[in-house]
């Protein structure tokens, strides 16, 4: 049997991390087995459609490198791969089920259903469709059809017995048929529901392994009754646990931290996101944590998939992202950092120096503006206390005297380069008989106006350029004079 898996997202306007992970696992499973991976767009719920959402799905998958073998844009033997374009195809199958008694037309109106739902609630029961229309006579049905009354097609689930199936993660699941409701298969507008389309399409597209979120686990017995009604072979099932924000809550879009694009916008690298989500609910069985997509294709195994929900740990993702950032070439780092340099107002500064001071420190690119904001503008409120540092043997008086000597030196420095700055300052420290730190500390504090800076005095001076560096050093002296 050829392994064929599919990713079947609904175009709702964003790519939830959990959805992307479902697609990733289906992709990895197919690639590992040398099978085929399909993309199917599930757009039968026309109310939820969002303009441009399908393009976003393509874009995201391409961005992370998940290529599909069949899909709406590239076609394939089993197309079309967009459910709305398959609309005409589902009705004859529904007709077949009506003929065989596995489905029936339901003419109940929304209002009637609401009323019965209310009555059930009043009795403390959960409403399950009561098979009202299953009992209509052929004559009644014909009359209603002749009047053009709208109807849906419902699955006729047996009231007795049980339905069992085996999930490759969760094992055998048995559900009393009585617990299943007569789901709508075809809506009044003729569109199939997910309940119907997933079965027809997975069968027609020869899907061998249905891999999807666990929210579909409870409905799977219903779907299997449909496969049986058609006499179709039931696929293997792999249901995946949800990704949680914490023990109680699913990671939700409402928290603003659940979509792939959110993470890209925050300055995470796509390789790190993909690597991290692969580990949310799967482990390789050893200590490895870093995987490229092709390494995942080799390592992936259903045996490593978890039965319990995964908790999304932003700190772990950030840690992993930092590892990926360290491994970038300077040119790659600069390309990713460029928009944040712009935000920080430092886009005209020396990118080599910026890369050298930032690449070892940045964990997420969006941290850059905060880290280097002081380069663009000095925080007006100098904290004089910062000039005092025990280890560097500095205090306000020492700092003032150092800066007074450094200013003329730097004014006349022939070449404003890191090497020239370094040599001149080190020579001066030696000539004065003071520690390098005693000289560099006040310079750095005066230039940055803050305690923690990426890079030292020399790099910061170099980035600021002569004019701005001298302006800040003079300001430092002024503030220190006021304080002493």
Q: Residue 56 and residue 52: Cα distance in Å, rounded?
A: 6
Distances (CA, A) of 75 to 30, 38, 195: 18, 10, 24
Helices (H), 33-77: 53-64
3-state helix, strand, coil in the chain (%, to 5): 50, 10, 35
Tokens found for residue 260: 């792939």
Is 285 exposed, middle or buried (CB count within 10 Å of its CB: 0-12, 13-18, 19+)?
exposed
Numbers of helices and strands, H then E, in the chain: 19, 11
- Structural contact between residues 138 and 105, judged by C-beta atoms closer than 8 angstroms: no
Nearer to ligand GLU, 9 or 72 (CB): 9
CB of 91 to ligand GLU, least distance (A): 20
Q: Which is nearer to ligand GLU, 10 or 163 (CB)?
A: 10
- Taking the least distance from each CB to ligand GLU, the nearer of 10 and 155 is 10
Q: Which of 240, 228, 235, 223 is nearest to 175 (CA)?
A: 223
Residue 182 CB neighbours (<10 A): 21
d(CA 32, CA 173): 27
What phi and psi, each to the nearest 5 degrees, are found at residue 174? -125, 130
CB of 143 to ligand GLU, least distance (A): 37
The minimum distance between CB 263 and ligand GLU, in angstroms, equals 19
Helix (H) or strand (E) segment spanning residue 154 = strand 152-155
Residues paired with 341 in a beta bridge: none
Residues binding ligand GLU (CB under 6 A) = 8-10, 42, 198, 212
Coil, strand or helix at 71 = strand
- Phi and psi (nearest 5°) for 471? -60, -45
Nearest distance in Å: CB 46, ligand GLU? 14
Alpha-carbon separation of residue 188 from 150, 196, 337 (angstroms) = 6, 14, 52
Minimum distance from residue 72 beta carbon to ligand GLU (Å): 14
* Distance set, CA 448 to CA 103, 437, 464 (Å): 74, 16, 10
Q: List the beta bridge partners of residue 164.
A: 174
For residues 359 and 326, give the distance between their C-alpha atoms in angstroms, rounded to a whole number.
6
- Cβ of residue 26: shortest distance to ligand GLU, in angstroms? 8
For the bound state, the minimum distance from the C-beta of residue 355 to ligand GLU, rounded and expressed in Å, comes to 40
**Distance of closest approach, residue 23 Cβ to ligand GLU, in angstroms:** 9
| Cα separation, 72 vs 40, whole angstroms | 7
Give the nearer residue to ligand GLU in terms of CB position, either 8 or 344.
8
User: Going by DSSP bridges, is the β-strand pair 184-186/152-155 parallel, antiparallel, or unpaired?
Assistant: antiparallel
Cβ closest to ligand GLU, residue 10 vs residue 275 = 10
Do 51 and 43 contact (CB within 8 A), yes or no?
no
184 or 421: CB nearest ligand GLU: 184
The whole-angstrom separation of Cα 365 and Cα 351 is 15
- Pick between residue 197 and residue 229 the one whose CB is nearest to ligand GLU: 197
> CB-wise, 211 or 357, nearer to ligand GLU?
211
Of 472, 465, 482, 484, the closest CA to residue 446 belongs to 472
| Active site amino acids | 253
CB of 255 to ligand GLU, least distance (A): 19
Cβ closer to ligand GLU: 197 or 421? 197
């Amino acid at each position: 049997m050829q392994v064929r898996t599919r990713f079947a997202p609904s175009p709702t306007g964003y790519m939830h991390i959990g959805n992307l992970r479902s697609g990733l696992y289906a992709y990895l499973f197919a690639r590992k087995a040398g099978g085929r991976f399909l993309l199917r767009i599930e757009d039968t719920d026309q109310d939820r459609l969002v303009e441009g959402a399908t393009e976003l799905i393509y874009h995201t998958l391409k961005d992370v490198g998940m290529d599909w073998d069949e899909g709406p844009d590239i076609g394939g033997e089993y197309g079309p791969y967009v459910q709305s374009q398959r609309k005409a195809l589902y009705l004859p199958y529904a007709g077949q089920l009506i003929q065989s008694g596995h489905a029936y037309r339901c003419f109940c109106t929304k209002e009637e259903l609401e009323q019965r739902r209310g009555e059930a609630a009043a009795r403390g029961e959960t409403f399950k469709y009561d098979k009202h229309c299953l009992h209509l006579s052929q004559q009644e049905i014909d009359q209603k059809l002749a009047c053009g009354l709208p109807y849906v097609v419902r699955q006729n689930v047996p009231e007795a017995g049980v339905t069992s199936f085996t999930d490759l993660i969760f094992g055998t699941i048995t559900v009393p048929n009585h617990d299943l409701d007569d789901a709508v298969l075809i809506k009044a507008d003729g569109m199939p529901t997910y309940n119907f389309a997933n079965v027809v399409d997975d069968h027609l597209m020869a899907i061998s392994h249905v891999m999807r979120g666990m929210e579909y686990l409870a409905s799977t017995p219903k779907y299997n009754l449909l496969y049986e009604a058609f006499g179709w072979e039931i696929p293997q099932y792999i249901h995946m646990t949800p990704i949680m924000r914490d023990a109680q809550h699913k990671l939700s879009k409402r928290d603003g931290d659940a979509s792939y694009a959110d993470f890209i916008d925050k300055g995470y690298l796509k390789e790190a996101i993909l690597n991290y989500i692969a580990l949310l609910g799967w482990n390789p069985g050893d200590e490895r944590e870093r995987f490229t997509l092709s390494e995942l294709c080799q390592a992936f195994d259903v045996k490593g998939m978890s039965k319990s929900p995964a908790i999304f740990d932003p700190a772990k993702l950030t840690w992993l992202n930092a590892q990926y950032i360290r491994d970038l070439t300077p040119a790659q780092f600069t390309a990713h950092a460029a928009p944040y340099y712009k935000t920080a107002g430092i886009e005209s500064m020396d990118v080599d120096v910026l890369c050298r001071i930032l690449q070892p420190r940045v964990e997420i690119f969006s941290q850059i503006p905060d880290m280097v904001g002081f380069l663009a503008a000095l925080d007006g409120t100098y904290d004089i206390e910062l000039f005092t540092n025990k280890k560097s043997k500095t205090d306000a008086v020492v700092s003032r005297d150092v800066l007074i000597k450094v200013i003329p030196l730097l004014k006349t420095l022939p070449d404003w380069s890191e090497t020239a700055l370094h040599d001149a300052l080190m020579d001066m420290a030696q000539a004065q008989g003071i520690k390098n730190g005693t000289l560099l500390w006040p310079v750095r504090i005066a230039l940055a106006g803050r305690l923690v800076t990426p890079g030292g005095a020399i790099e910061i001076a170099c980035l600021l350029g002569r004019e701005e560096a001298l302006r800040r050093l003079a300001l430092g002296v002024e503030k220190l004079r006021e304080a002493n």
